Amino acid sequence: MNYKIAVCDDEQNQIEYLSGLVRDWAGQSGCTAQIVPFLSAEAFWFRYEDEKNYDILLLDIEMESMSGVELARQLRTCDDTIQILFITGYPDYIAQGYEVAALHYLMKPVSGEKLGAVLDRAAANLHKKGRSIFVWCDRGCQRILTDTIVYAEVLSHTVTIYTIDKKAYQTKCSISELEQLLGGDFIRCHRSYLAGLKYIARMTKSEVLFEDGRSVPLARSAYHMANQAFIQYYREI
């Protein structure tokens, strides 16, 4: 597995120390860690607005201007997947960690053993939450859990991805590119539509109907393939 891990602390020596512990953990776990350092919460947030593909955030609480807790609150308004690990020299913020669904709270100086155990939990949580894709839309780089995608529609050169919570994300790509990105749990039911097998309730000769009442067209030429994929999907789960 590959993980993108941000280390945010206003002391350079702490960033270097924590980054070294993360590298040790990655080597022992047999995974790859891309470690990105940040010397302030503002610097992380500025980058995050364009790059939302961070998996884990090691976050100091006591920083000038924007604190770690403030940054975590902002993150949770748009991202419930990133694993936040608070690291601090003060024991007074544990309750605030619960408010932002922080994974854990480690006191400085951090030991490699304790950090490794928490990173193991973070990796397990990310695996449990499922695979994500990252698309560029009007809000910048957006993380979307594939398990939440109901269907996608292309119009001209814009693909709109519709999720189970009725959100819509527009991105510039082809339907074929998105099909390749999403993988085998999605079917090309029409030249302009992809349907998520997880949310299909039934099919007619001309429509794919989803559990929440939405529907998309089903091309006559795609009916046999789509029907077989639908049957096979439910045999395997």
- Please tell me whether residues 110 and 46 are part of one structural domain: yes
Question: pLDDT at position 148, please?
Answer: 92
State which of 107, 129, 151 marks the end of a domain: 129
Structural domains counted in the chain:
2
Domain that holds residue 179: 132-236
Say if CB 17 and CB 66 are below 8 A apart.
Answer: no
- Please tell me whether residues 85 and 136 are part of one structural domain: no
- Please tell me whether residues 156 and 123 are part of one structural domain: no
Question: pLDDT at position 96, please?
Answer: 56
State which of 94, 129, 164 marks the end of a domain: 129
- Please tell me whether residues 220 and 138 are part of one structural domain: yes
56: CATH: 3.40.50.2300
- Please tell me whether residues 163 and 177 are part of one structural domain: yes
**Mean pLDDT for each 10-residue chunk of the chain (237 residues)?**
92 97 96 95 92 90 88 86 88 61 86 95 85 78 87 93 92 89 89 95 94 95 92 76
Residues counted in the chain: 237
Alpha-carbon distances of 230 from 163, 175, 195, rounded to whole Å: 19, 20, 10
Cα–Cα distance, 59 to 111 (Å, whole number): 15
Question: pLDDT at position 99, please?
Answer: 60
Question: pLDDT at position 93, please?
Answer: 59
- Please tell me whether residues 149 and 196 are part of one structural domain: yes
- Please tell me whether residues 6 and 116 are part of one structural domain: yes
- Please tell me whether residues 102 and 195 are part of one structural domain: no
- Please tell me whether residues 120 and 138 are part of one structural domain: no
157: CATH: 2.40.50.1020
For the chain, the straight-line distance linking the first and the last C-alpha, in angstroms and rounded, comes to 24
- Please tell me whether residues 137 and 111 are part of one structural domain: no
State which of 78, 100, 129 marks the end of a domain: 129
- Please tell me whether residues 63 and 123 are part of one structural domain: yes
Question: pLDDT at position 137, please?
Answer: 80
- Please tell me whether residues 165 and 66 are part of one structural domain: no
